[in-house]
Structure 1
Amino acid sequence: MSRPHPSQRTRQVKKLPLIHVNDTTKARTIFARRLPFWGTTFGTAGFLLCDLIISGSAIHLTYNHWSEGVAVATPEGSQEKQPQQMEYQLRPTWQRVGLCAAHFVAGCCFAGGLLAMKAQLVRSVILASPPVRPGQKPVGEIRRLIVQTAAHRKDVGYSFSAKDTWLEKGRDDTEVLLRSSYGSGRFHLKLAGASIDEQKYPSTEESRKKIIEVWREFTPQKAG
């Protein structure tokens, strides 16, 4: 899995444009996988709802019920020895507000991390020709790479030039990393259970070899 020349990677980074898959021609799905539950719309909504409930409950309990024990003074003039009594009072406001803020930040970090992971979770990678405008003749060559993540609808994805893409080693042997000199993002392609070029393979090693082979078909200048 070779990379482009460093000068190519230092070009100005732009935001990846979105494209409708139905507007393209000669679409070829080279990577597809079923999303895990947390990456689906209902799964993500469920986790965010749980995060909201837990964070809200923690803030409510902290602000309204976080107390500390305070010794009750013995009445003056009392001759009998009485066991020291304790009563509970709410902690100072600054302590309760500070801990509430920590709960709020923790909840926001969880939600933000979940949405960020979902935006990098790839559903499919499609090779296709550019959009065809009314009255324009369809382009026969495959030129665009469409990456659909869990954050997109099934007919929408990021679009950029296929020739400016390359693959890198992932975090482990079960994935490869898709990079592009056009966009700032990185996309993790999980190979376990995925279909490569519309075909499933018994092992992740075979899937890895196949996806590299497919990449070299449309990026021959990067083969090596």
Structure 2
Amino acid sequence: MSLTATVRWLSALQFLPSRMWSAFGTWSRRLLGRQPSTLLDAATKRHLVYEGKPVWWARWTWPLVGMDLFLCSSMAETAWNHWTWPDPAQKELAGEDAHVQPNYVLRPAWQRFALAAGQFAVGLGFASALVRLRGRAVRRVYIVPSPSHSAQVFIQTPVHGASSGIRTTLGECRLSPGRDMSEVILRLRGREGEYWMELRGARIRGQEVPLERANAEIWEAFTGKKAAAMQRWKSGPVLQG
């Protein structure tokens, strides 16, 4: 190898750790559902529209993940160290008709490894899904009006700090009814997945309001409409037989 080629190879090699770390960071952000965030200034925080408590599992994600990893690792350890079967060699020596107390031995390593790896993979997948879904529960929404452009919308989830959030515009937001009046689904144009706002016990513009009013005000803040959003949950007249 020539001196020039050696120098080029060494120059490329010195950037390898940083590239590997960058690739690992990208992979981990995708695995954990991390999203690009923007810093919120004091002026933005004066336009708080929605503040609510995410669902219980979104608030207790990390304890649940710890319990999940403990359980799946314990099951994997049990499968690897304690999964046994009757000793095949003893059965061959004793014959078919002999009645002897069976001697149990560990199963073949490939069987124990497959079961242990499967148990751990299921637990890891559940933990990853839980962490990713945690970033879909809306904690706060700020809507900053603009005289010339579409209003700016800042969304905070449990994965964001007190001064960071997702930045978008009102024109890129789409609302749809949730399971009932206590839930509203928010989708952002150009982004995969959906976000959900829990309205039970939520504060709208800093005040606790009844559930029906909270639902109506959220729809009005995003779309300027109230009644259209309530059609799904309104029942018709009761027919008399």
Give the superposed CA RMSD.
Answer: 3.0
What are structure 2's unaligned runs of at least 5 residues?
1-33, 226-241
What's the counterpart of residue 144 of structure 1? 152
1:34 to 50, 53, 58: 53
How many angstroms does 1:125 deviate by?
0.7
Aligned AA (2:48) = T
The answer on 1:65 being equivalent to 2:111 is no
Per-residue Cα deviation, 1:51-90 (whole angstroms, up to 9, x for no partner): 22112111111111100123745988xxxx9742111111
Give the corresponding residue for 1:119.
135
| 2:63 corresponding residue in structure 1 | 46
Tell me the secondary structure at the aligned position of residue 154 of structure 2.
strand
> 2: distance between equivalents of 1:16 and 1:163?
20
Q: Which residue of 1 aligns with 2:161?
A: 153
- Cα distance, 1:70–1:24 mapped onto 2, change above 3 Å: same
Report Cα offsets for 1:107-148 as digits up to 9, x if no partner: 111111111220101101111369xxxxxxxx8977210010
TM-fit CA distance, 1:174? 2.0
Q: How does 1:1-224 map to 2 (within 5 A)?
A: 17-22=36-41, 24-25=43-44, 27-40=46-59, 43-70=60-87, 72=90, 83-128=99-144, 143-203=151-211, 205-217=212-224
Higher relative helix content: 2
| TM-score, L = length of structure 1 | 0.73
Cα distance in 2, alignment partners of residues 217 and 104 from structure 1: 49
Offset of residue 23 of structure 1:
6.2
Higher RCO, Cα 8 Å, sep 6+: 1
Q: Which amino acid aligns with 2:79?
A: T
Number of the residue aligned with 2:12: none
Closer, same or farther in 2 for the Cα pair 1:167/1:75, shift >3 Å?
A: closer
Distance in 1 of aligned mates of 2:182 and 2:163: 26
Aligned residue for 2:221, secondary structure, equals: helix
TM-score between the two structures when normalised by the length of structure 2: 0.68
Assess if the C-alpha contact under 8 Å between 1:27 and 1:127 holds in 2. Answer: no
**Structure 2 Cα separation of the partners of residues 39 and 16 of structure 1:** 16
How many angstroms apart in 2 are the aligned matches of 1:166 and 1:106? 34
Distance 1:216 1:170 in 2: 16
- Report the CA distance shift for 1:27/1:185 in structure 2 as closer, same or farther (over 3 A): farther
CA distance in 2, matches of 1:26, 1:60: 49
Structure 1 alignment gaps of length 5 or more:
1-14, 131-138, 219-224
Partner of 1:222: none
* Structure 1 pair 74–110 and aligned structure 2 pair: CA distance change class (3 A): closer
Task: Determine which structure has the larger strand proportion and give its number.
Answer: 1
Q: Which amino acid aligns with 2:218?
A: I
- Quote the Cα distance in structure 2 between the aligned partners of 1:88 and 1:16: 51
Q: Which moved more, 1:152-161 or 1:209-218?
A: 209-218
Contact map agreement 1:30 1:198 (CA 8 A) in 2: yes
